[in-house]
Amino acid sequence: MWSALSVAIDRYRIWYKITYQRGKILATAPGVWRRYADPPPFPDARSFFPCDGRIPEARLEEEPAPPGVRVQKITFPTLHRLPFPETNLAIGRLYAPVSTSCAPLVVLSHGWAHRKRRGIERLYVRPFLKRGWSVLFMAHPLHFERTPRGAYSGEMMVSGDAALTVEAFRQAVVDLAAAVNFLQSRERRPWGLFGYSLGGYIAGLLGCLRPDSSFLVLAGCGDSVLSPILETRLGRNVREDLSNTGLLDREELERFWGTISPSRWTPAVSRERILFVAGRDDRIMLPDSVERLWQAWERPALCWLPRGHYTLLATPGALLRVSLPFMDQHFAERSVHKKSAAP
């Protein structure tokens, strides 16, 4: 019964999105794939996402917060520009428990097309704060306040403009790394990555760059954005747009999107500090896609739950019961290591 309900919810949400959230019709300029793949100019993830050690000129502004919590808005000019002024200002929030100085930091990488922060704060930020952790929640490119005029949040992140999709992911990874660099330059502390759905890809890519992350938790995330676009009903509208420019072909799309596929790169985070949590009945991040990434990354911990995409991520009780102890353990290990390394 639970399996049937999970599948039905996924199917309804997919139907609603492809029917009522058609979005802009975007196209890929001819021949632009050559800048990414002819010949392959990026031998490793660091060469494609140049963000090591770059500290942005960021501002922190106090915002209203519930009792016991401090909320600061963080803004800085992006370190990787796109042709949309709205998305070239990186914007996020830093949540911290007032009672805990220098709390470990969870870098929360959110999913696709959220319209408001409130639901994410309730489902994810609040449980992390109750654990005594701080949370960095950056808006991904083309989402929230970074949405171009005339678009809705997230619609342009994965689109028929395959080159824009690559550059949006590039901006997301570079800006997320820059925000971590800024916070670590002010006050060093253990930090870890938690990403789900679209944000799982971005967290996974950053996990291929940063060995200093205490953990990498990926929920409802597979090997490549090719899978939800080519293998599920959710990708129907994007497939139509890609077809108009002759790109509805897996081999052609690999030329574009291989660089933003976590399975393309080797994780910098060690295998014992990586956890996958996935839904057996997921109709967006298909189990085969999850297993391909799991195999490519040499089989780190993987927990299958009897959930679909939305029952895994929009009702994340089971997800958090699995992931919070894992995060606790690796934060504790990093804290012990830090104390033993101190003079």
Report cis status (omega within 30 of 0) of the bond before 39.
yes
Amino acid 15: pLDDT: 84
Amino acid 341: pLDDT: 44
Predicted confidence pLDDT, tens digits, the chain (343 residues): 668 888 888 887 888 888 877 777 888 888 887 788 766 677 888 888 887 788 999 999 999 999 999 999 999 999 999 999 999 999 999 999 998 868 999 999 999 989 899 999 999 999 999 999 999 999 999 999 999 999 999 999 999 999 999 999 999 999 999 999 999 999 999 999 999 999 999 999 999 999 999 999 999 999 999 999 999 999 999 999 999 988 898 988 988 899 999 999 999 999 999 999 999 999 999 999 999 999 999 999 999 999 999 999 999 999 999 999 999 999 998 765 555 444 4
Buried b (16+ CB within 10 A) or exposed e, 85-121: eebbebbbbbbbbeeeeebbbbbbbbbbbbeebeebb
Domains of the chain: 2-27+63-217+257-341 (3.40.50.1820)
Composition of the chain by helix, strand, coil, percent to 5: 45, 15, 40
Looking at residue 74, the DSSP 8-state letter turns out to be: E
Q: Specify whether the CB–CB gap between 274 and 301 falls below 8 A.
A: yes
What is the distance between the alpha carbons of residues 54 and 208, in angstroms, rounded to a whole number?
Answer: 17
Buried b (16+ CB within 10 A) or exposed e, 185-210: eeeebbbbbbbbbbbbbbbbbbbbbb
DSSP 166-232: HHHHHHHHHHHHHHHHHHHHHS---EEEEEETHHHHHHHHHHTT-TT-S-EEEES--S-THHHHHHS
What is the distance between the alpha carbons of residues 185 and 330, in angstroms, rounded to a whole number?
Answer: 22
Strand 134-138 and strand 105-109: the pairing is: parallel
Amino acid 135: pLDDT: 98
**Side chain identity, residue 282:** D
Residue whose pair of structure tokens reads 């919810």 in the numeric block: 9
Entry pTM:
0.94
Residue whose pair of structure tokens reads 């000129």 in the numeric block: 57
